[in-house]
Amino acid sequence: MPHADSLILTLVGGFVLAFVFGMLANRLKLSPLVGYLVAGVAVGPYTGGFVADTTLAPQLAEIGVILLMFGVGLHFSLADLMKVRKIAIPGALVQIAAATGLGWALGRLMGMGDLEAVLTGFALSVASTVVLLRALEERKQVKGPAGRIAMGWLIVEDLVIVIALVLLPLLVIKPGQSVNPAELATSIGWTLFKVAGFVGVMLVIGAKVLPWVLVRIAHTRSRELFTLGVLAIALGIAWIAYWLFHSFALGAFLAGLVLNSSPLGHNAAERSLPLRDAFAVLFFVSVGMLFDPSILIREPLAVVGVLAIVIIGKSIAALAITTAFKLDKATSLTVAAALAQIGEFSFILAALSVQLGGMTRETHDLILAAALLSISLNPFVFALIDRMGARPKPPASGSIEGRALAKEEAAAGNPATA
């Protein structure tokens, strides 16, 4: 039974340990996400010592999911996607299909049913936005050809996942339950129709109403009210989507997408960023709490198998499609390495699959192990492709890019350029 101080203990334990392990991961040149996940393992029920409230943490994680998806919508750029659509759309779809197929084959070898095996492969197919952005920013390639293609690729994957999260409750058939194919097709069709209607209302009516509301709030000149207004819009629309489709993700994404196109979209993103960051950390901590690290010892071959799909299988698929579109070697290798990991969407999909009864806790732990290891190994994957000829060339000092980079370094206090 939860104690009266469960909330404050969970928040304190989660934030303090996330900070400590996040700093340690950063010092080791790893993504801070690794530290947040390890912090969750440390306060989870599978390790000794302090155990956070395992019933409260998932609810905090749901808020993290909403704000994560809201942030994805706020930074969604249809214009950027359209610039690389000819390679990003087929590339993402081919890579998703390849990873799902490999996951299904591995799952069947491990004795899973078809549905669980497909869900496993699908969860392994989607890269982490946070990890990808961090890697490209460190290499100063976000605005380069490889960065634009990788981001467009990831946008398509995100859209596919959002639709999958809406349809998943209809597709997971519990043992002993019989479903009429015609009824299933009708349910899927009706759900897609409602989704299309909801998207249409948000993009047509919401695009006029929500910016107008933000402008009215901005006229109050109150930072607190503006921040509360942004969060109320994100959480409120996410709840409406959950009521209609049992999916917080779709509503939060659309709320961010609509506000992104408004004149105050940048301010909305800036005001919500601290809370989004805080609850994103709690989301990763709560995921770590659900991970049983003993699976690394109990099922080492299975862990190696899912990790190979993420790092090798997805990379080969990405290289195949980029080579088919005749991209240069460096760009192809960079895109492949950037996508050779999984993260937040894999966690969300796996958790929902377990909740619906379509995936066992053992398989869920395998996916979390693949995420933790692939995020940790991603810097080494980039080091490997640099040896293969993908190292970005520094811009010439006299070029526009070179002058801009020099200004950035001088602003950061770099003695070499200050």
* Distance from C-alpha of 291 to C-alpha of 39, rounded to nearest angstrom: 11
Instruction: Give domain status of residue 21, yes or no.
Output: no
* Distance from C-alpha of 204 to C-alpha of 196, rounded to nearest angstrom: 12
Angle between helices 314-324 and 329-338 (to 10 degrees): 150
Whose CA is closest to 236, among 216, 251, 218, 215?
251
Instruction: Give domain status of residue 253, yes or no.
Output: yes
Range of the domain at 320: 61-172+181-383
Instruction: Give domain status of residue 234, yes or no.
Output: yes
The pLDDT tens digits of the residues spanning 151-197 come to 888 888 888 888 888 888 888 776 556 666 777 788 888 888 888 88
Whose CA is closest to 107, among 129, 92, 122?
122
The pLDDT tens digits of the residues spanning 349-382 come to 888 888 888 899 899 999 999 988 998 888 889 8
* Distance from C-alpha of 237 to C-alpha of 249, rounded to nearest angstrom: 10
For 173-205, b/e burial (b = at least 16 CB within 10 A) is eeeeeeeeeeeeeebeeebeeebeebeeebeee
Distances (CA, A) of 387 to 184, 221, 348, 380, 390: 51, 53, 34, 11, 7
Whose CA is closest to 132, among 316, 381, 321?
381
* Distance from C-alpha of 192 to C-alpha of 186, rounded to nearest angstrom: 10
**pTM score, whole prediction:** 0.80
DSSP 176: T
Query: pLDDT tier at 120 (50, 70, 90 boundaries)?
Result: very high
pLDDT score recorded for residue 107: 93
Instruction: Give domain status of residue 29, yes or no.
Output: no
- For the chain, how many structural domains are there in total? 1
Instruction: Give domain status of residue 393, yes or no.
Output: no
Instruction: Give domain status of residue 13, yes or no.
Output: no
Q: Is 118 or 130 the better-scoring residue by pLDDT?
A: 118
- Do residues 350 and 368 touch, judged by C-beta distance below 8 A? yes
Instruction: Give domain status of residue 36, yes or no.
Output: no
pLDDT score recorded for residue 179: 66
Q: Is 121 or 397 the better-scoring residue by pLDDT?
A: 121
Average pLDDT over residues 35-50: 81
pLDDT score recorded for residue 300: 92
* Distance from C-alpha of 158 to C-alpha of 250, rounded to nearest angstrom: 11
Average pLDDT over residues 249-269: 79
Residue 71 belongs to a domain with what CATH number?
Answer: 1.20.1530.20
Whose CA is closest to 74, among 245, 213, 276?
276
The pLDDT tens digits of the residues spanning 307-345 come to 999 999 999 999 999 989 888 888 899 899 989 998 888
**Token pair in block for residue 270:** 């800036």
Give the three-state DSSP class for 123: helix
Query: Does residue 418 carry a pLDDT above 50?
Result: no
Residue 179: what are its φ and ψ, rounded to 5°? -130, 130
List own/partner pairs for 107-112 with CB under 8 A and 24 or more apart. Answer: 107/363, 110/302, 110/305, 112/363
Instruction: Give domain status of residue 3, yes or no.
Output: no
In one-letter notation, the amino acid at residue 34 is V
